[in-house]
A and B are shown apart, each in its own frame.
Chain A
């Protein structure tokens, strides 16, 4: 059974700093990995999607990397802003038949201090 872990569970950094969020998963047979953000009381916003054959994806100040063989992904946020404060979730989709659902990590609650 796939297990996804995110470290740290919570992180506070001053505005302007660069930061890295970590995600690890136990089963490397994945189809893709997505990073989401969730604001309090809201749904999930898809940030980046990395297919299993890819190493990284970039969108603006965000960069996500994937090392499938070691079961790790990182989300790099450059020049953090107070608006980046949210809970960040990574989720992996299995590639085996019958295991195609997204498995979510435990989340990292990020606070950017103005």
Chain B
């Protein structure tokens, strides 16, 4: 199957700083990318959807000025958590869909963010 990578896998930062997470589709062009967050023992919560070259569409309740998403190319999307606070500590997972009609969605390995 198609491969989606994320970097870093783990990050610890101080409260008030910004953190950038990269998501790459390694062997396909991702027409649409998604960012999710997951709290312990809970299901995934969609944060935003982005198409290459377009502004991201954020889910209700997700602050677009706090979670900046840039889908700069067909293989790269970044999520920047600005002015991070301890409550932003979570597991962030990106996902991507390639071209074609199957709409099979592939997920990255996730990034564990801890804000101290």
Judge if B102 is at the interface, Cβ distance under 8 Å.
yes
Question: How many residues in A have their beta carbons less than 8 Å from beta carbons of B?
Answer: 22
In the complex, are the beta carbons of A43 and B107 less than 8 A apart? yes
Among residues 1 to 56 in chain A, which have CB atoms less than 8 Å away from a CB atom of chain B?
A: 31-32, 34, 36, 41-46, 49, 51
Q: For residue B6, which residue of chain A has the nearest CB?
A: A43
Judged by DSSP, the binding face of B is: strand
Q: Select which of A51, A102, A107 is within 8 A of B105 by beta carbon.
A: A102
In the complex, are the beta carbons of B104 and A44 less than 8 A apart? no
* Given contacts A34-B105, A51-B102, A43 and B49 within 8 Å (CB-CB): no
Q: Beta-carbon contacts of B8-20 to A below 8 Å, as 1s and 0s?
A: 0000000000000
CA distance A76 to B77 in the complex (A): 35
Judge if B74 is at the interface, Cβ distance under 8 Å.
no
Q: For residue A109, which residue of chain B has the nearest CB?
A: B41
CA distance A35 to B30 in the complex (A): 20
In the complex, are the beta carbons of A46 and B105 less than 8 A apart? yes
CB neighbours of A51 from chain B (8 A): 102
In the complex, are the beta carbons of A46 and B43 less than 8 A apart? no
In the complex, are the beta carbons of B104 and A34 less than 8 A apart? yes
CB neighbours of A41 from chain B (8 A): 91, 110, 112
Q: For residue A91, which residue of chain B has the nearest CB?
A: B105
Rank and list the top 8 A-B pairs by shortest CB-CB distance, nearest first.
A44-B107, A43-B109, A43-B110, A43-B107, A49-B104, A104-B43, A43-B93, A43-B108
Kindly list 20 other residue pairs between chains A and B, CB separation below 8 angstroms, not including A49-B102, A100-B103. A31-B103, A32-B104, A34-B104, A41-B110, A43-B107, A43-B108, A43-B109, A44-B44, A44-B93, A46-B1, A46-B104, A46-B106, A46-B107, A51-B102, A93-B105, A101-B34, A101-B46, A102-B46, A102-B105, A106-B43
Task: State the B residues within 8 Å of A (CB).
Answer: 1, 4, 6, 34, 43-44, 46, 49, 91, 93, 95, 102-110, 112
Task: State the A residues within 8 Å of B (CB).
Answer: 31-32, 34, 36, 41-46, 49, 51, 89, 91, 93, 100-102, 104-107
Identify 8 residue pairs between A and B in the complex whose beta-carbon atoms are under 8 Å apart, listed by A's number.
A44-B107, A45-B107, A46-B104, A46-B105, A93-B103, A93-B105, A100-B103, A107-B43
